[in-house]
Amino acid sequence: MALPIIGADERLAQRKGIKGVIFGRSGIGKTSLLWTLNASNTLFLDLEAGDLAVEGLEIDTLRPRTWKECRDFAVFIGGPNPALREDQPYSQAHFDEVCGRYGDPTVIGKYETVFIDSITVAGRLCFQWCRGQPEAFSEKTGKPDIRGAYGLHGREMIGWLTHLQHTRGKHVWFVGILDERLDDFNRKVFQPQIDGSKTGLELPGIVDQVITMADIPDQGGQPQRAFVCQTLNPWGYPAKDRSGRLDRVEAPHLGRLMEKIQRPAAPASERLTWPPVTPADPAPAQEPGHG
5 within a domain of the structure (yes/no): no
Pair 118, 177: CB distance under 8 Å: yes
Q: At what angle do helices 67-78 and 146-165 cross, to 10 degrees?
A: 20
Tell me whether residue 286 is in a domain.
Answer: no
140 is a domain residue: yes
Look at 88-102, 253-267, 277-291 and tell me which has the smallest mean pLDDT.
Answer: 277-291
User: Would you state the pLDDT for residue 121?
Assistant: 96
pLDDT at residue number 166:
92
Q: Is the pLDDT of residue 266 over 80?
A: no
pLDDT value of position 249: 97
User: Does a structural domain hold residue 267?
Assistant: no
Residue 93 lies in a domain: yes
Q: Are 108 and 76 in contact (CB under 8 A)?
A: yes
How far apart, in whole angstroms, are the C-alpha atoms of residue 33 and residue 174? 11
Closest to 28 measured CA to CA, from 174, 175, 186: 175
For residues 111 and 90, give the distance between their C-alpha atoms in angstroms, rounded to a whole number: 20
Mean pLDDT of 258-276: 83
CB 70 within 8 A of CB 116: no
> What's the rounded mean pLDDT across residues 186-215?
93
245 is a domain residue:
yes
191 assigned to some structural domain: yes
| pLDDT score recorded for residue 128 | 96
Domain CATH number, residue 249:
3.40.50
Mean model confidence pLDDT for the chain = 91
Q: Is the pLDDT of residue 285 over 70?
A: no
pLDDT exceeds cutoff 70 at 222: yes
pLDDT of residue 264: 83
Which residue range forms the structural domain that includes residue 206?
15-262
**Span 58-82, mean pLDDT?**
96
Among 136-145, 250-259, 266-275, whose mean pLDDT is lowest? 266-275
Residue 289 pLDDT grade (very low, low, confident, very high; cuts 50, 70, 90): low
How many structural domains compose the chain? 1
Q: Is 8 a domain residue? A: no
Q: What is the 3-state secondary structure (H, E, C) of the chain?
A: CCCCCCCHHHHHHCCCCCEEEEEECCCCCCHHHHHHCCHHHEEEEECCCCHHHHCCCCCEEECCCCHHHHHHHHHHHHCCCCCCCCCCCCCHHHHHHHHHHHCCHHHHCCCCEEEEECHHHHHHHHHHHHCCCHHHECCCCCCECHHHHHHHHHHHHHHHHHHHHCCCCCEEEEEEEEEEEECCCCCEEEEECCCCCHHHHHHHHHCCEEEEEEEEECCCCCEEEEEECCCCCCCCCCCEECCCCCCCEECCCHHHHHHHHCCCCCCHHHHCCCCCCCCCCCCCCCCCCCC
User: Comparing 280 with 145, which gets the higher pLDDT?
Assistant: 145
| pLDDT for residue 239 | 97
